A = this chain, B = another copy of it.
Amino acid sequence: MKDKDYYIVTTLCDKQEIANNISNALLDDKLVAGSQIFKVKSSYWWNGNIETKEEFKLEFRTREDKVDEIVKTIKSLHDYEASEISKTKIGCLTEEMKVWIDESVE
Interface set of A (CB-CB < 8 Å, partner B): 6, 8-9, 12, 23-24, 27-28, 30, 33-45, 50, 55, 57, 61, 67, 71, 75, 81-94, 96-97, 99-100, 103-104
Contacts known (A43-B27, A44-B33, A82-B100); A71 close to B88, Cβ less than 8 A = no
Q: How far apart are the CA atoms of A67 and B90 in the complex, in Å? A: 14
Copies in the complex: 3
Note all chain B residues with C-beta closer than 8 A to A71.
93-94
Closest to A55 in B: B36
A30 to chain B, nearest CB (A): 8
Note all chain B residues with C-beta closer than 8 A to A43.
23-24, 27, 34-35
